[in-house]
Amino acid sequence: MSDAFHLLSDVASFIVALVAIYLAEKPPTKRHTYGFHRAEVIAALVSVLTIWVLTGVLVYEAIQRVKNPQPIDAKLMCITASIGVAVNIVLAYVLGGHHHGHSHDHDHDSAHNHDDAEANIEHNHTHKEANINLRAAALHVLGDLLASVGVLVSSIILIFKPTFTIVDPICTFVFSLLVLYTTYHLVKDSLAVLMEGVPGHLQPEAIEKSLSQIPGVIAVHDLHIWTLSPGKSSLTAHITVSRDAQLSYDELLARSQRIVCDLYGVHHSTLQIESDQAGFTNHCRPEICTPRE
């Protein structure tokens, strides 16, 4: 029954991953103006939660075996585990190759021109922030692989020490901890995206400082940075300029966009240029426009 549940969860996880990839490729609509990029993040969380449920089931079974040891057919166990290890290695290789290839696919706003050096910065970052959905699928396979390795190690020990049945639940406990450890960062990254946190590679203070150094800029406020999906960051900001600034508003906006999009690699930006005499900040609520430290 547990094997059937395990297989069913694998099939369900891969179906969810494929559906998420399909949705993420769909263009934006009037109701979903940012597109469906976060479908991959949701799919990643579903996959990880499935892994955790399976891990919990395996740990429960291991506890029962500690309480009530049962005879084990070590040879059959070894053959089955070997097949499981081989299959999961192949799946890990396939997913790893697809994961690597997919991570080279980027989007750039057609309104901005990128220098070669700056494009390389964006390329390197996007390569690091590879498809989170494929990461989850790869981790699911890794979890299966670790479980199979644990069973294989247990079976080899039991072949030579048939009475040492405690080794099976011990290996289950050890590899369950490894599975939880390997999925922790993926869950953390997924929740950061859903909570619209600032991407880890961006520093709001640095962006604000760079924008403030543009001639004529007095202040930068209402700065918000979040992640649509890993590798696709968004930013909005109000830029207050001096009334007697030598640069035109169009030039100020162009410079600001180059800093935000080219220098810092922001995928989508909305910048508002406003005069210091207009009092545009009066509409802002302090708790929104001025985030606390």
**pLDDT band with cut points at 50, 70 and 90 for residue 121:** very low
| CATH level 3 topology of 204-289 | Alpha-Beta Plaits (3.30.70)
Q: Which CATH superfamily is domain 2-194 in?
A: Cation efflux protein transmembrane domain (1.20.1510.10)
What average pLDDT score do residues 91-98 get?
A: 66
Same fold, 2-194 and 204-289: no
Residue 291 has pLDDT above 80, yes or no: no
Q: Which of 151, 169, 160 is nearest to 86 (CA)?
A: 151
- Percentage of the chain exceeding pLDDT 70: 77
**What pLDDT score does 107 carry?**
41
Let me know the angle formed at the C-alpha of 224 by 218 and 229, rounded to the nearest 5 degrees. Answer: 145
pLDDT band, very low/low/confident/very high, at 106 (cuts 50, 70, 90): very low
Res 123 pLDDT > 90: no
Q: Do residues 275 and 126 lie in contact, with contact meaning Cβ atoms separated by under 8 Å?
A: no
Q: What is the pLDDT of residues 263-273, one digit of tens each?
A: 999 999 999 99
* Predicted structure pTM score: 0.68
Q: How confident is the model at residue 293 (pLDDT cuts 50, 70, 90)?
A: low
Question: What pLDDT is stored for residue 195 in this prediction?
Answer: 92
- 253 within 8 A of 245, measured Cβ to Cβ: no
Residue that the structure tokens 């900040």 belong to: 281
Residue 169 clears pLDDT 70, i.e. is over it: yes
Per-residue pLDDT tens over the stretch 208-260: 999 999 999 999 999 999 998 888 899 999 999 988 878 888 999 999 999 99
Domain ranges of the chain: 2-194, 204-289
Confidence of residue 279 (pLDDT cuts 50, 70, 90): low
**Which pLDDT belongs to residue 289?**
56
The per-residue pLDDT for 78 is 85
- Amino acid type, 270: T
The residue ranking higher by pLDDT, 279 or 75, is 75
What type of residue is 63? I
Return the residue matching tokens 């499981």.
84
